[in-house]
Structure 1
Amino acid sequence: MSVLRMQGIEKQFSGVPALKSVSFEVKAGEVHALLGANGAGKSTLMKILTGAYQADGGTISIDGRQVSIQSPQDAKALGIQCVYQEVDTALIPYLSVAENILLDRLVQSKGAGLIRWQQLYAESEELLRGFGFSIPVRMTVEECSLSEKQLILIARATVQKAKFVIFDEPTAPLSTKECERLFQIIDQLKKAGVGIIYISHRLPEIFEICDRITIMRDGQHVITTETARTNMDEVIGHMLGKSFAEEFPKAHVPIGETLLEVTGAKGGKVRHADLSVREGEIVGVVGLVGAGKTELARLLFGADEAEAGEIRLKGAQLRICSPKDAVDAGIVLVPEERRKEGIFVEESVKNNLSVATIAKWSPLGFIRSGLEAGQAKELVQRLGVKTADISQLVGFLSGGNQQKVAIGKWLDTDASVFMFDEPTKGVDIGAKSDIYRLIGKLVEQRKGVLYFSCEFQEVIGIADRILVMFEGQIVKELDREQATQELIMYYASGGE
C-alpha cells in the first residue's frame, strides 16, 4: 500500500514558528481529514507538501523513499495534486472551462503542433459528464459561478491521474446536491487507490466521509485517530484546547427603531425583496446556493445595478448607485469572496484595517502614520487577529484572520447597517465563535445586521428574524423561536 509520509516538519516565518516538528501521513485508498482551528498550521503544512513553501526541517517520503519537493512542478511529478479553496488564484479566467481542465496538457504540448480543439472539448465534456456535472466547456471561467469554478478544479485534479489529492474546503461554495456529487467522486478516487487529504471546517461531513482524522493546534500535531473512535465534541476539544460549550454565542439586546427598510428591490437575479432591519437586530437571509442571497446583498450595497425598489435608512430615502453611495449613507458589506472583494491580499494588515477610515489619518492629504498604526494595533487586539506584526501581508494570514480583517476595516466607520455575506465560509470553528461575538458587539452598539448564509443552523443560532429566499425572492419570514432546519429547507426548496 502506497504511503505519503511527512516527518518532523519545521517552518518559521520572520523567526516565528509556524510548524513545530509536525508529522502526518496519508495512505492510498483512504480519506484522511486534516483539522485545526485558526492558525493551527494546516495550510502551511500543505503548502510545503505542494511545493509552494520549503520546509526548514523534516523529511517527506513516498513508499519509504525520501523525496525533494522544491516547487509545485515537483509535487505534480510525484502525483500530488490540490483542489484549492481560493479558486480564483488557481484558474485562468479568460480561458475556457476545457482549457482550464486540461491546462497542464496544453502547456506540455506548447510548440508541438496544432491543438485539436474538438478533441479537447469532447474529452472535457466526457470527463464532466462522468462526474455528473453540466458546465458548458467552451464558456470562459470568468463567466462561471463560484461552485462551477470549484468543480472545474476538481475535474482538473482528477484528470492528472494523481496518487494523492488535497481537498481544501471543497464544499464551501457547493449546494447540498453538489456536495453529494463531490462525495461520490471522492469515493471513486478512494476505490481507485488515491489517497485523499481532506481539509474542512464542516465537521459533520468529516464524520461522513473520512477514515482517519489528524488534528493540529498552534503549529503542532495533537492527535491522529480513526474517525470511528472519536466524536464531534472530542474533536472540537482537541482543536481548541478547551471545551466549546457555546457554539453560537447570541447577544440578547433590546430591539429598537427601524434602521433600514427595503421595498420592491429588483435587479439581476433578484426578482422581488422586501425587508427591514431594526436597531440591535440581526436579520438572517437564508437560501440554497443560487437563491439570490449574494445578489441581494450586492444590490443593497450598490455593487450591482437595481432595476426597481426603494431603500430608506432612518426614514430617509436613499439613492444608491455605487458602493461609495452605500458607505457614505452608513451601509457596509463584508462580501462572500473575501480575497477577491473584501481585502487587499498584497497589502499589510495595517493598510487593510485603515483603508475605510483613511480620511481620519490624512488631514490635508498627509497620512499621520503613527495614529494609523495605533488604530491598526488596537483593532488587531480587539479582533483577535493572529499576526506577527501589523506590517504582515494579509494574504499570508489564515482564512479566519483574513475574515476578521475584512470585518475590522468597517468597525471604526460611522456605519449603522452591517451586511455579512457567508462570513464564516472556510473559517474554523474557533474563528466562527469570534465572528459571532464581533457581530454581537455590533448589535449591542445599536447597529443593524443583515446576515446572508446558506448555513441554516448557523442562522437559527445567531438571528432574531429569518428571511428565506427562493429563486430571487423572499418567500417567508420566520421568528427565531419557530425556525427549524426542516422548516427553512421546506421554504428554501420552493414549498408554499
Structure 2
Amino acid sequence: MSHLNMTGISKQFSGVPALRSVDFEVKAGEVHALLGANGAGKSTLMKILTGAYQADEGTISIEGQQVRIESPQDAKKLGVQCVYQEVDTALIPYLSVAENILLDQMVASKEKGLIRWQQLYDQAEAILKDFDFVIPVKKQVEECTLSEKQLILIARAAAQQAKFVIFDEPTAPLSTRESERLFRIIDQLKQAGVGIIYISHRLPEIFQICDRITVMRDGQRVFTGETQSTDMDEVISHMLGKSFSEEFPKLEVPIGELLLEAKGIRGGKVRGADLSVREGEIVGIVGLVGAGKTELARLLFGADPLEAGELAMKGKKLQVRSPKQAVESGIVLVPEERRKEGIFVEESVKHNLSVATLAKWSVFGFVRNSLETLQANELIKRVGVKTADSNLLVGSLSGGNQQKVAIGKWLDTEASLFLFDEPTKGVDIGAKSDIYRLIGRLAEQGKGVLYFSCEFPEAIGIADRILVMCEGKIVKEFARNEATQEKIMYYASGGE
C-alpha cells in the first residue's frame, strides 16, 4: 500500500521563510485535509510535492523509498496528480474531452508516429464510465461546464493511475448537488486505495469527508489529528492562533436616503427582480447556484443587456448599457470570477490598484509613477493585502489577497454603490473576516452594498435585509432578525 511522507520540508523566497521544517503524510485509501489561512504555506508545500518548486531542505519518500521530484513530470511518474481549483489552466480548451484525459498517452503515441483515434475515444469513454461520468468524449473542452472540466481532470488522474491526488478547493465552483457527486467520486478513489490530499476553506465538508486533518500556520505544521477526535472550533483556533468568536463583525450603521431602485429587471436568466438599496445599507441577495444572482449583478453593472425594467439612482432614471456607464453612474462590481474579470493576473499589485483611477495619476496621458506607487501602498494598508512589494504580480498572491486587490481598486473612485458577487469564494477564514470588515466600513461611509451569495450564514451575518432568488426571480424578503438558514433554504428551493 502506498504511503507518502514529506519530512522536514523548508523553503525560503528572497530570504523570507515560507515553510519551516514541515512534516506531512498521506496514507493509501485516506482523505487527509490540509488546512490553513492565506499564506500559511499550504500551496508552497503542494507545489514542492508536484515539482513546481524544489525544497531547500527536507525529504520526500513514497513507500519508504526517498524520491526526487524536480518537475511536474517527475511527480506524475511517481503517481502524484493535482485537480486544480483553476481548472482552465490545467486543460487545453481547443482539444476534445478524450484528448485532454489521455494527453500523456497521446504524446507517447505520436512519438511512435501513430494515434489510433477510435481506441483513444473508447479508452476515454471506459474511464468516464468507471466513475459514472456522462460527458461526450468528442466534445471540445471549451464547451464544457466548470463541473465537467473538473471531472475531466479526475478522469485524467485515473488514466495515469495516480496513487495520490491533491484536490485544491474542488467545491468552490460547484453546486450542492455537484459537490455531493464529487464526494462520492473521492470515496471511490479512496476505496481503490488512492491517497487524497484535500484542501478547502469549507469546514463542514472537511468534517463530512476527511479522515485526518493537518493545520498549517505561518509556514509550520501546528496540528495533525483524526477528524472524529476534533471539532470545528478547535480547527479554527489552530488556523488563526486565536478563537474565531467574531466571525461576522457587523457594524450598526444608520441607513440613509434611497440610492438605487430597480423595478421589473429582466435579462438572460433573470425573469423579474424588484429591489432597492439605501445609503449605508447592506442588502444580501441569496439563492442556490443557478438562481440568477450573478446574472442580476451583471445586468445592474451593464455587463449584459437589459431586456426590460427600470433603474433609478438617487431618484433619477438611469440607463446602464455598459460597465463604463455603470462606473460613471457610481456603480462598481467585484465579480465572482476574480481571475477572469476582477484583476489582471499578469500585472502588478500597484497597476491593479490604480487601474480604476489612472486619470488621477496621469499628466498628458503619462502615468506619474511615484504618485501611483504612493496610492497603491496606501490602498494595500487600507485593505490589508499581504504582499512584500506593490510591484509583485497579482497572480502570485493567495486567493484572499487577490480578492482584496479586486475590491481595493474601486475604493478611491466616486462609487456610491458596490456590488459584491460571491466575494468570499475560495477565500480562507482569516481573509473572509477582513473582507466582511471592508464591506462594513463601506456601509459606514454611506455607500450602498448589494451582496450576492449562495452562503446563507454569510448573508445573515452581514446584511441588513435579505432578498431570496429562485429561478431568476426575487421571491422573498427578510429583515436581518427574521432570517434563518432554514427559512432562506425553503424559498430558495422553490417553496411558496
TM over 0.5: yes
- Code of the residue aligned with 2:185 in structure 1: it is I
**Cα separation, partners in 2 of 1:227 and 1:260, compared to 1, 3 Å:** same
The 3-state SS of whatever aligns with 1:110 is helix
Partner of 2:158: 158
Residue in 2 that maps onto 1:230:
230
| 2:107 is equivalent to residue 107 of structure 1 | yes
Q: Which structure 2 residues correspond to residues 439-478 of structure 1 after superposition, within 5 A?
A: 439-478=439-478
Q: CA deviation at 1:258?
A: 1.5
Partner of residue 350, structure 1: 350
> Where do 1:228-377 residues align within 5 Å?
228-377=228-377
AA aligned to 1:161 is: Q
Aligned to 2:81: 81
For 2:145, the equivalent position in structure 1 comes to 145
TM-score w.r.t. the length of structure 1 is: 0.96
Deviation per CA, 1:161-209, whole angstroms, max 9, x where unpaired? Answer: 2100000010111111111111111111111110000000111111111
- Structure 2: 5+ residue runs without aligned partners? none
Measure how far apart 1:93 and its partner are: 2.0
Distance in 2, Cα, partners of 1:275 & 1:107: 54
Matched residue type, 1:209: I
Query: 1:247/1:19 Cα in 2 relative to 1: closer, same or farther (>3 Å)?
Result: same
Cα deviations across residues 49-77 of structure 1 (Å, max 9, x unaligned)? 11111222211111121111111111111
**How far did residue 137 of structure 1 move?**
3.8
Corresponding residue for 2:188?
A: 188
The reply on whether 1:433 has 2:433 as its aligned counterpart is yes
User: TM-score if structure 2 supplies the norm length?
Assistant: 0.96
- The residue type equivalent to 1:12 in the other structure is Q
Match of 2:91 in 1: 91
Q: Are 1:131 and 1:181, in contact at CA under 8 Å, matched by a contact in 2?
A: no
SS, match of residue 105 in structure 1: helix
Q: Which residue of 2 aligns with 1:37?
A: 37
1:396-411 correspondence runs (5 A): 396-411=396-411
Given that 1:16 and 1:388 are in contact with CA atoms closer than 8 Å, whether structure 2 keeps it comes out as: no
In structure 2, what is the Cα distance between the partners aligned to 1:132 and 1:278? 49
Q: Which amino acid aligns with 1:163?
A: K
Map of 1:65 onto structure 2: 65
State the one-letter code of the partner of 2:237.
G
Which whole-Å CA distance do the structure 2 matches of 1:136 and 1:265 have between them?
36
Structure 1 residues 326 and 98: alpha-carbon distance in aligned structure 2, compared to 1, 3 A threshold: farther
Q: Does the CA-based 8 Å contact 1:29-1:191 persist in structure 2? A: yes
Alignment partners' CA distance in 1, 2:179 and 2:258: 38
Asked if the contact 1:82–1:166 (Cα under 8 Å) also holds between the matched residues in 2, the reply is: yes
Q: Specify the code of the residue in structure 1 equivalent to 2:304.
A: D
Equivalent-residue separation in structure 1 for 2:316 and 2:466 (angstroms): 25
Which letter maps to 1:298? R
SS of the equivalent of 1:24 reads strand
Structure 1 residues without counterparts, runs of 5 or longer: none
Structure 1 position 18 matched with structure 2 position 40? no
The residue aligned with 2:486 is 486
What secondary structure sits across from 2:262 in the alignment?
strand
Counterpart AA for 2:429: I
Deviation at 1:232, TM superposition (A): 0.8
Instruction: Return the offset for 1:133.
Output: 3.8
Instruction: Give yes or no for contact 1:150–1:173 (8 Å, CA) kept in 2.
Output: no
Q: Identical aligned pairs, as a percentage?
A: 79
Cα distance between partner residues in 2 of 1:307 and 1:139: 32
Query: Does the 8 Å contact 2:127/2:158 carry over to 1?
Result: no
Q: Deviation string for 1:432-464 (max 9, x for gaps)?
A: 000000000000011111111111111111111
Partner of 1:169: 169
Cα distance, 1:120 vs. partner? 4.0
| 1:345–1:393 Cα contact (<8 Å) kept | yes
Amino acid corresponding to residue 257 of structure 1 in structure 2? E
Give, as a single letter, the amino acid of the residue that structure 1 aligns with 2:54: Q
Kindly tell me: are residues 388 and 276 of structure 1, through their superposed partners in 2, closer, same or farther at Cα, counting changes over 3 Å? same
The DSSP-based 3-state class of the residue aligned with 1:18 is: strand
Rounded to whole Å, the distance in 1 between the matches of 2:222 and 2:130 is: 39
Inter-partner Cα distance in structure 2 for 1:96 and 1:416: 45
Q: Is the 8 A contact 2:7 2:22 kept in 1?
A: yes
Please give the per-residue CA displacement for 1:309-355, whole angstroms capped at 9, x wherever unaligned. Answer: 22221122222222111111111111111111111111111111111
Amino acid at match of 1:58: G
Partner of 1:7: 7
Alpha-carbon deviation of 1:109? Answer: 2.2
Amino acid at match of 2:279: E
Residue of structure 1 equivalent to 2:208 = 208
- Tell me which amino acid in the other structure corresponds to 1:38: N
8 Å contact kept, 1:29–1:195: yes
Q: Distance in 2 between matches of 1:420 and 1:467?
A: 14
Measured after TM superposition, the shift of residue 130 of structure 1 is: 4.3
Q: Secondary structure at the match of 1:45?
A: helix
Report the Cα offset of residue 211 of structure 1: 0.9
Cα distance in 2 for partners of 1:416, 1:342 equals 18
1:135, distance to aligned residue in structure 2 (A): 3.7
* Residues paired across the two proteins, number: 496
Q: Which sits farther off after the overlay, 283-292 or 101-110? A: 101-110
Displacement of 1:235 after TM fit? 0.6
CA distance in 2, matches of 1:212, 1:301: 44
**Partners of 2:260 and 2:276 within 8 A in 1:** yes
Following the alignment from structure 1 to structure 2, what is the Cα–Cα distance between the partners of residues 293 and 147? 18
Distance 2:301 2:123 in 1: 41
